[in-house]
Amino acid sequence: MTISSLATAVAVGTLLGLCGRWAVPAGRSIPFWVPLAVAVGAAVLGSVVSHVVGIRATGISPLEVVLQVMCAGVAVTLVVATADRQPPEARPYDVSGSR
């Protein structure tokens, strides 16, 4: 992995992490750093996968960036969709039998 690949992964992950944090509904409480960390980690994973597959170029490869964006986008979507989920409130038992 080159320095430019790592820098691109951190930039892509930070941008998508901030977008994911912004998209969180107000009713859910997610620490600020969670979407950022997940997005940066997933973007770095996308960069590693691109190098393992054989996408190598001097500088920044557009295919590598696309793979970073896809990995980070999927990871942030999963985190935002599943974070701080509250179980549905149990309905109180109705003794009268009316519905």
* 69: nearest Cα among 50, 87, 54, 82: 50
Which pLDDT value is given to residue 90?
46
Greatest mean pLDDT among 2-6, 52-56, 70-74, 78-82 lies in: 70-74
Task: Give the tokens for residue 99.
Answer: 């519905």
Q: What is the pTM of this model?
A: 0.76
Task: Name the amino acid, one letter, at 65.
Answer: V
* Contacts of 15 by beta carbon, 8 Å cutoff, 6+ apart: none
* Contacts of 1 by beta carbon, 8 Å cutoff, 6+ apart: 47, 48, 51
